[in-house]
Amino acid sequence: MPFSLTWLPDVLLDAGLKVAKVDGWEFRGLGDMGDVLGVICHHTAGPLSGNMPSLNTILHGRPDLRGPLAHLGLGRDGTFYIIAAGKCQHAGPGIWRGVTAGNTHFIGIEAENTGLANDQPWPQVQVDAYQHGIAAILRKMNLPADACAGHKEYATPQGRKTDPDFDMAVFRSGIAKILDGSTPAPSPIPASEPPKADGSVPRPTLRRPATGDLVKVLQTKLKLTPDGIFGPGTEAAVRALQRTAGLTPDGIVGPKTWQLVDQSA
């Protein structure tokens, strides 16, 4: 039976954000959540290279701590990876707004960053997605911006944790502006290409885990084996093409990327 946070992908998608569902996410967790009373922000302290290289660790845990370690992973390109709909081991001992059972009552987000000077500044696309994603979750739960805490603020004793390594007051201020409408939502990716002058059928936007003949067409144009499954390899090839062209490397084939794929074929 699925756990309770099955609304997470729709809330993030409705906010115009990029979402990648990790297989089995609906049934992943160490029991179910209690009432959601806030969000705790983390950074992964993972590798410097790659979009979400810490995903496997978040999924399966560490030798000293069983996974999943967060409900959401946030890649450097602003993609939210939906990891678990149940309880995760992300909080540990701590307190925020009087709540001490962090794993039971807070959604945990692990954003990919080393936490070191070699990974500064954070990509703006990632910070924007972080704030808009949290705002969407808080709006869903009718919670204010101060229901968002940094792990370093929640964890006790104070100083036990240092993540995330940015100013949480400034970060929450940005969330508050999104919640009160001062900051517009990101523009969602269109569901398909605009109508074509030649009358041909516009191609739909493709992303993981799409399947079918159109995925085979895409893979052929990208010089990949056309198996018709939009998996990690296809997504990586799309991201590489987008980076080369200066587009946001989100791995999603919308109208702009379809045009780029056609030009590169």
Q: State both tokens at 139.
A: 């709006």
Are domains 8-179 and 190-265 of this chain identical in fold?
no
Tokens coding 240: 């590489």
Please choose, from the candidates 240, 237, 198, the residue with its C-alpha nearest in 3D space to the C-alpha of residue 215. 237
DSSP letter for 27, please: G
**Which pLDDT score, from 0 to 100, does residue 189 have?**
75
Predicted pLDDT of residue 77:
84
The confidence score (pLDDT) of residue 94 equals 98
The pLDDT assigned to 230 comes to: 93
pLDDT tens track, the chain, 265 positions = 899 999 999 999 999 898 888 999 999 999 999 999 999 999 999 999 888 999 999 999 999 999 999 999 999 989 899 999 999 999 999 999 999 999 999 999 999 999 999 999 998 889 999 999 999 999 999 999 999 999 999 999 999 999 999 999 999 999 999 999 988 777 667 888 888 888 888 999 998 889 999 999 999 999 999 999 998 899 889 988 988 887 777 788 989 999 999 988 7
pLDDT at 187: 67
| Total Cβ atoms within 10 A of residue 116 | 11
Architecture in CATH of 190-265: Orthogonal Bundle (1.10)
Question: How is the chain split into domains, by residue range?
Answer: 8-179, 190-265
CA-based end-to-end distance of the chain: 44
Q: Two tokens at 107?
A: 């959604």
Q: Output phi, psi for 13, to 5 deg.
A: -65, -40
**Distance (Å, rounded) from C-alpha 71 to C-alpha 173?**
23
Buried residues in 45-57 as b, exposed as e (16+ CB within 10 A): bbeeeebbebbeb
Please state which of the four CATH numbers 3.40.80.10, 3.40.50.620, 3.40.50.300, 3.30.70.1380 is assigned to the domain occupying 8-179.
3.40.80.10
- State the DSSP string of 202-220: PPBPB-TT-BSHHHHHHHH
pTM: 0.78
Both tokens of residue 251?
Answer: 């791995």
